[in-house]
Amino acid sequence: MWFGVISIMTEMIATASRTGVFGRAIEQGILSLELFDPRSHTTDRHQTVDDRPYGGGPGMVMMTEPLLATMAEARTRAAAQGIEAPVIYLSPQGARLDQKMVKEFAEMPGLTLLCGRYEGIDERVVERVDRMVSVGDYVLSGGELPALVVMDAIARHLPGTLGNSASAVEESHLDGLLDYPHYTRPETAGARQVPEVLTSGDHAAIRRWRLKQALRSTWLARPDLLTARVLEPLERELLSELFAEGLAAEVD
Ligand code: 4GX
């Protein structure tokens, strides 16, 4: 998959892209990343990309011309590789990113992520983007961290990446639930024992225990995820057990 990122702080993206799942995916050729800096599409000595808002008020607005020229450059670069990469503008006004959207994006040949700084970008550029995406209801100082969030989440879904093999692809019965608790050695840490079922070797019992724990933590932390879900008969049964137990954590 091809990612183009438009940013006046390309170093932020470059640095992060050298590490983790993302860095490895680039090394393996599963992902390619091209950075585009609007400052290279300016003509003045100071490489100005922002200006004061019409109508007054605090802060600065990113100018139309450098951004549109950069979007055209990114489109040309993608097209040269036979790729169409719609432009996503990261903004608190966008549709909230969720796992469903991440999977949808992961099916596409490319994406161009437009990162704004200052108070925002000129509305005439907003009119030219294909989608607006938000990573959550809080205000950051730029779109670079949200762009990295979007790309990281997508990278995990591309065939051949570390995230894609087994552990991270929640195509299983645990899809849409919060995670169950994890344990590793030693079996006794202080007075705290690893739950017996996990060392029993009974894989069916382990699967059942994990699903029950996932349902428990989901009910306690994010009940909205359960009400949005069509529950399997086994899930109903495990939830009934949990309610009967007063949702208590296992006592062993
Ligand atoms: N999820 N930001 C965009 C510039 C801006 C300012 C005002 C529109 C209006 C964010 C988020 C986010 C910070 C990216 C402000 N754009 N992006 N930037 N939350 O906070 O995606």
Examine the pLDDT at 156 and tell me if it is beyond 70: yes
How far is C-alpha 113 from the geometric centre of its chain's CA atoms? 13
Examine the pLDDT at 168 and tell me if it is beyond 80: no
- What is the share, in percent, of the chain residues with pLDDT greater than 70? 95
At residue 93, φ and ψ (nearest 5 deg) are: -80, -5
Examine the pLDDT at 252 and tell me if it is beyond 70: no
CA of 5 relative to ligand 1 center, distance in Å: 15
Atom in ligand 1 nearest the alpha carbon of residue 136: 19
Angle between helices 233-244 and 203-221 (to 10 degrees): 70
Q: Prior bond to 186 cis, omega within 30?
A: yes
Atom in ligand 1 nearest the alpha carbon of residue 137: 19
**pLDDT, average across residues 195-220:** 98
Residue 171 has what pLDDT?
A: 53
Residue 166 has what pLDDT?
A: 58
Examine the pLDDT at 102 and tell me if it is beyond 70: yes
Residue 170 has what pLDDT?
A: 47
**pLDDT, average across residues 16-26:** 93
The model carries a pTM of 0.94
Ligand 1 pocket check for 97: Cβ under 6 Å: no
Residue 167 has what pLDDT?
A: 55
Please name the residue that has the structure tokens 């007075």.
191
Using pLDDT thresholds of 50, 70 and 90, give the confidence band for residue 117: very high
**pLDDT, average across residues 177-185:** 97
CA of 169 relative to ligand 1 center, distance in Å: 29
Ligand 1 pocket check for 137: Cβ under 6 Å: no
Using pLDDT thresholds of 50, 70 and 90, give the confidence band for residue 172: low
- The pick from 132, 140, 141, 151 for probing ligand 1's pocket by mutation, whose C-beta has the most ligand atoms within 8 angstroms, reads 140
Ligand 1 pocket check for 163: Cβ under 6 Å: no
Largest Cα separation within the chain, whole Å, is 72
Ligand 1 pocket check for 138: Cβ under 6 Å: yes
Ligand 1 pocket check for 86: Cβ under 6 Å: no
**pLDDT, average across residues 106-134:** 97
CA of 92 relative to ligand 1 center, distance in Å: 5
Examine the pLDDT at 219 and tell me if it is beyond 90: yes
> In the predicted model, what is the mean pLDDT of the chain?
95
Examine the pLDDT at 176 and tell me if it is beyond 90: yes
CA of 157 relative to ligand 1 center, distance in Å: 25
**pLDDT, average across residues 218-235:** 96
Residue 182 has what pLDDT?
A: 98
pLDDT tens for 1-11 read 999 999 999 99
The residues pairing with 59 across neighbouring beta strands, listed in sequence order, are: none
Examine the pLDDT at 30 and tell me if it is beyond 50: yes
- Are 252 and 196 in contact by the 8 Å Cβ rule? The answer is yes
pLDDT tens for 49-76 read 999 999 999 999 999 999 999 999 999 9
How far is C-alpha 96 from the geometric centre of its chain's CA atoms? 10
